[in-house]
């Protein structure tokens, strides 16, 4: 218990540049409070004290604004930054050294029993407002972009953005849209690619090429028409005079 507590404090110290002391973590960080209360609620849940565990989780939600079902399995070093609106479902599994920002949901997609929430690997970052829905795995060292909706498994060392979410980078390198197995260009580590903006750019470039080609065809047709008119003028002057 003390080992997990120490690692949770260290996670906040390492990942939040605003922090000044360990005492500030213990007294002022709702994400830290939510994780510690969940560990107690989870212990009660595993012993079959379901109602008491749920009461404790609801108390935690009231205090912190973070809802973690007592059945969820949480690894060491979880850092929930700000945390307001975070929801983690009953059968969710969160690995070690995971970072979750505000508004994130680790949820299910139906009323089925059994495993219905995602499994999050180690060292994963889930950005603000992202929704990870379903019983699949997000691989180790992956990143989920802000506002993304992830509905299927994510390979290790991947970056996912968009609605629905899709893998746009793997092992720090861009994934080709035409061939997902092809690796093309290195990404800057401080930027996430925007597939929607990229598609709009490609569409705009294609429209410009089509417009240029249309102007060339119109110019050719006008030249042919003028040449034909000039020829007719020379061969049939009487018709024009009449």
pLDDT at 170 over 60: yes
CATH code of the domain in which 132 resides: 2.160.10.10
**17-73 pLDDT, tens per residue?**
888 888 988 899 999 999 999 999 999 999 999 999 999 999 999 999 999 999 999
- Last-in-domain residue among 174, 192, 210: 192
For residues 169 and 213, membership in a common domain is answered with no
**In the structure, what pLDDT confidence band is assigned to residue 172 with cuts at 50, 70 and 90?**
low
**Burial class of 97 by CB neighbour count within 10 A (0 to 12, 13 to 18, 19+):** buried
H/E stretch holding 220: helix 195-235
pLDDT of residue 105: 94
Q: Are 167 and 158 in contact (CB under 8 A)?
A: yes
Structural domain containing residue 215: 202-241
**103-121 pLDDT, tens per residue?**
999 998 877 788 899 999 9
For residues 182 and 161, membership in a common domain is answered with yes
Least Cα distance to 125 among 105, 110, 147, 145 occurs for: 145
Number of domain units in the chain: 2
What is residue 88's three-state secondary structure?
A: strand
What is residue 6's three-state secondary structure?
A: helix
């Amino acid at each position: 218990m003390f080992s997990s507590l120490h690692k949770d404090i260290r996670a906040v110290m390492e990942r939040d540049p605003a922090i000044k002391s360990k005492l500030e973590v213990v007294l002022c960080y709702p994400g830290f409070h939510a994780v510690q209360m969940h560990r107690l609620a989870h212990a009660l849940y595993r012993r079959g004290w379901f109602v008491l565990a749920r009461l404790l989780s609801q108390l935690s939600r009231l205090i912190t604004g973070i809802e973690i079902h007592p059945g969820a399995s949480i690894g060491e070093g979880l850092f929930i930054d700000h945390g307001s609106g975070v929801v983690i479902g009953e059968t969710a599994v969160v690995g070690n050294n995971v970072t979750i920002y505000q508004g994130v949901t680790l949820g299910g997609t139906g009323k089925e029993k059994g495993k219905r929430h995602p499994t999050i690997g180690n060292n994963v970052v889930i950005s603000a407002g992202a929704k990870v829905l379903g019983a699949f795995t997000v691989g180790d060292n992956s990143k989920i972009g802000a506002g993304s909706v992830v509905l299927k498994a994510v390979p290790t060392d991947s970056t996912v953005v968009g609605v629905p979410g899709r893998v746009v980078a793997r092992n720090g390198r861009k994934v080709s849209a035409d061939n997902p197995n092809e690796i093309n260009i290195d990404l800057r580590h401080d930027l996430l690619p925007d597939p929607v903006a990229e598609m709009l750019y490609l569409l705009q470039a294609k429209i410009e090429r089509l417009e240029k080609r249309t102007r060339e065809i119109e110019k050719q047709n006008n030249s042919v028409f003028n040449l034909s008119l000039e020829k007719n003028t020379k061969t049939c002057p009487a018709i024009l005079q009449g």
